[in-house]
Amino acid sequence: MTKPFSPRELLARIRALLRRARAQETVADGLQKIRAYRFAGWELNVRLRRLTAASGDIVVLTNTEFNLLAAFLAAPSRVLSRDQLLGLSRLHNDEVYDRSIDVQVGRLRKKIQPDDTQPPLIRTERGAGYVFAAAVEVVR
């Protein structure tokens, strides 16, 4: 923040940071209690870090793709912003651009939905972020 700054702007920025941090904590806390998710014929085993297709084939995911998918499944039908997804998908705090999330979401889409004739599992909300549109069943 550049000087001089207004106290109202500083307070607004602090509140925004706290709000984003709370959203990330609730998703991360939820992941610790869950064993697996089922959606659209797929199963993501969180403890084994394994994605299984309806055919029984195991799909290999990178760490970022796994973390992104787990974040989407923990918050189905809820808009997740690029900033939230960046925080939830990165294991380390390197400098990354928010547009890199778009690339990772595209790669994840290709892996979990190779057929474009079906409605998208991950829907883009223009100007807001991404939404996981499929129904999700939690296995504890």
Residue 33 has pLDDT above 70, yes or no: no
Q: Which CATH architecture has domain 7-139?
A: Orthogonal Bundle (1.10)
pLDDT of 111 reads 92
pLDDT of 97 reads 67
pTM of the model: 0.71
* Angle between the N-to-C axes of helices 63-74 and 82-89, in degrees from 0 to 180, rounded to the nearest 10: 120
Query: Each residue of 93-114: pLDDT tens digit?
Result: 556 666 788 889 999 999 998 7
Tokens found for residue 75: 């918050």
Q: What is the rounded average pLDDT for all residues in the chain?
A: 83
